[in-house]
Amino acid sequence: MPHTGHPGKNTLKTLAASGAVLALALSLTACQEGAPAKKTAADASQTTAADEITLADAFELGGYNPTNGYAELGVSPMYEGLLGLESKDPHKLPQLRPVLATAMPTSNADKTEWTVEVRSGVKFSDGSDFDAQDVVANYKEVMNPATASEIGASYEMVDQINAEGNKVTFKLKYPYPDFPSRLLLGLAPSEYMKGGLASESPLNTKPVGTGPYVLEKLDSQKAVWAANPSYWGKAAQVKKLTTVYVPDDAARVSRIRTKEFAGSIIPPALANSLKNLEGYKVVHADSADWRGVSFPGSNAFCADPQARIAMNEAVNRKEIIEKVLFGAGKPASTPVSAVYEAYNPDAQFKFDLEGAKKRLDAAGWKPGADGIREKDGQRAAFTLAYTSNDTVRRDLSVAFAAAMKPLGVDVKLEGTTWDALEGRLDKVGILLGGGDKPYSIDTQVYSILHTREANTSQYDNPGNYGSPEMDKILEQARQSGDESERVKLYQQAQRQYLEAPNHVFLAFLQHTYVTRDDGWKTGNLTVEPHSHGVNWGPWWNLGQWEK
């Protein structure tokens, strides 16, 4: 499951189901009601032992190189980081816990130097020993421009990495209190860190890690994981995991109805059709995974802060969540969701269409003969692009355009590809997604709300809207070592954002899964990032399941 890279360009082909696909899927599943499903020879072969599970995933298999983003957040069958996630409440951010580290990292007073002691007696799945030099090699590989790692920019605060004995020291360019969240990165043997392109590493198809599972078989349709016989920690009770690539939403639903699979990620509307399937349950994982509309930087209407505020006020987010996401989401006005301590409940746009109209009137944007507002010869109009293979983004785009029509704003829709958008980001709005590193509030908001910097992804604030005031707040919050001050600064940033928004954030998605109840004690779900699939959901901590 490759890394999602940045909040716009989701290389995992975001899940969705609606329109014609949804209608077809529902008709297929309806036909199966009341009649036993026919099983094929392939179905029969899926019979598994009590300590094995088979899952259907919507995402292509492979891409297992951690230095290119796989397991960047410490969730993987075969990789582990210095730290890992611990979910004590599925509706709150998980805590960080030591995994390949012996304890949580320590820092100097100004948070510019972090030291972590690595665990001894750990072996990689190829039999080689894990040590501090492996840590140094992995991080340097990520930061090496020659590898073209998709996550390299996320570690730009690191100046030096050194190992002495079993201790690793990270020296930073500036104070960064959230640095422990960077220690989730999955680790592989230093022998694989050769400075070549991360996308071409042998780890993509032959991963070597320290985790509770090893990859036993991989082809384009199936990955088989077996419990690691030499795992340093508690042995996994689930002895075998098989992941089958089933990209079509309706096909996954149909095959779950035959009980071929123990679970899958399913779009909300289709998941509802399975809620009464005997032995299965539908679960929703909270996430910091947002969807929203960016604004073109070269558009006169969008360049007006009052216009951007009005567009935010004209959107009924609750209605969109009910009709487009079938209730599997929560309203978003900023990229800060309620899972963060710094969430500001007062910094929210309220639905007020009439107020939005008055705001545009006062700003000089008056309705023209065709009902579309105009000012100084410029029309209140722009193109909103979305990836045509993503029906959730398509349907959210349609809903946004419909909400703009009574406001007197003409939003033309364009289904396209990420490649076709290259070079046009200042000319069109884009239905984006974000929240790829939610376990630090800094990475959740900084690049999205800050004016663009040299190392900023082209999909982070593509219109480059912002202000010196917002930049100053974000920079202070990023570097402050006083947690109470940071909370106040991030709440201030949310209030500041309402005065000059650079997106229309619409919703935080709830990722929807269908899972079979086989009597396992699975622990809590965890708040999920932008990326998702059967590495997440109920199976994110598979190695810790117990009976």
Work out the end-to-end distance of the chain between its first and last CA atoms, rounded to an integer number of angstroms.
Answer: 28
- CA atoms of 66 and 335, how far apart (whole Å): 26
Residue 546 φ then ψ, to 5°: -140, 155
Range of the domain at 146: 66-203
Nearest one of 317, 319, 353 to 334, comparing CA atoms: 317
For residues 198 and 310, state if they share a domain: no
Residue 213 in any domain: the answer is: no
d(C-alpha 210, C-alpha 125), whole Å: 6
pTM of the model: 0.88
The burial of 390, by beta-carbon neighbours within 10 Å (0-12 exposed, 13-18 middle, 19 or more buried), is given as: buried
Q: Are residues 338 and 482 in the same domain?
A: yes
DSSP string, 49-94: -TTEEEEEESS-S----GGGTTTTTS--SS---SEEEE-S-TTSPP
| Pairing relationship of beta strands 52-57 and 263-265 according to DSSP bridges | parallel
Measured CA to CA in angstroms, residue 113 lies from 155, 158, 168, 439, 482 at distances of 14, 9, 10, 20, 16
Does one domain contain both 195 and 298? Answer: no
Domain end, chosen from 172, 203, 234, is at 203
Q: Which residue matches tokens 């900084």?
A: 446
310 and 444 inside one domain: yes
Do 336 and 193 lie in one domain? The reply is no
For residue 71, being part of any structural domain is answered with yes
Q: Tell me, what CATH number does 445's domain have? A: 3.10.105.10
Beta bridge partner(s), residue 214: 226
Are 295 and 421 in a shared domain? yes
Closest of 204, 192, 242 to residue 70, by C-alpha: 204
Cα–Cα distance measured from residue 213 to residue 230, given in angstroms and rounded to the nearest whole number: 10
Question: What b/e readout covers 421-447, taking b as 16+ CB neighbours within 10 angstroms?
Answer: beeebebbbbbbbbbbbbbbbbbbbbb
The answer on 452 and 341 residing in a single domain is yes
Position 34 in a domain: no
* Same domain assignment for residues 440 and 301: yes
Determine, yes or no, domain membership for 96: yes
Block means of pLDDT (10 residues each) for the chain, 547 residues, are: 36 35 39 39 52 95 97 96 97 97 97 98 98 98 96 95 98 97 98 97 98 97 97 97 95 96 92 94 96 96 98 98 95 97 97 98 97 97 93 93 98 95 92 95 95 86 94 96 95 97 97 96 96 94 96
Beta pairing partners, 293: 431, 504
**Of 185, 203, 221, which residue is a domain's last?**
203
Q: Which SS3 state, helix, strand or coil, does residue 462 take?
A: coil
The 113-117 sheet, strands edge to edge = 106-107, 113-117, 167-172, 158-164
Could you tell me if residue 385 is inside a domain? yes
- One-letter identity of residue 185: L
Bridge-based pairing state of the strands 511-516 and 263-265? antiparallel
pLDDT of residue 37: 40
Q: How far apart are CA 470 and CA 495, in angstroms?
A: 10
Residue 88 burial by Cβ neighbours in a 10 Å radius (0-12, 13-18, 19+): exposed
Residue recorded with tokens 């510019």 = 112
Count of beta carbons in the 10 Å neighbourhood of residue 205: 15
Judge if 183 and 305 occupy the same domain.
no
Residue 256 lies in a domain: no
294 and 199 co-located in one domain: no
CATH number at residue 189: 3.90.76.10
For the stretch 95-103, contacts whose Cβ atoms lie closer than 8 Å and that sit 24 or more positions apart, written own/partner, are: 96/180, 96/181, 96/183, 96/184, 96/439, 99/74, 100/130, 100/135, 100/187, 100/210, 101/183
Same-domain check for residues 298 and 421:
yes
Residue 382, token pair as written in the block: 């722009």
The number of distinct structural domains making up the chain is: 2
State residue 531's pLDDT score. 86
Q: Quick one: 491 and 368 in the same domain?
A: yes
DSSP 221: S
Query: Edge-to-edge, what's the strand order for the sheet holding 381-387?
Result: 329-331, 503-509, 290-294, 429-434, 381-387, 410-416
Within a domain: 331:
yes
In degrees rounded to 5, what are phi and psi of residue 340?
Answer: -95, 140
Q: Number of H helices and number of E strands within the chain? A: 13, 22
* Sole residue written with tokens 């007197």: 408
Question: 169, 203, 237: which is the final residue of a domain?
Answer: 203
Question: Residue 321 falls within a domain, yes or no?
Answer: yes
User: Any bridge partners for residue 505, and if so which?
Assistant: 292
Q: What DSSP letter does each residue of 126-190 carry, written as one string? A: TSPBP-HHHHHHHHHHHH-GGGT-TTGGGGTTEEEEEEETTEEEEEESS--TTGGGGGG-----G
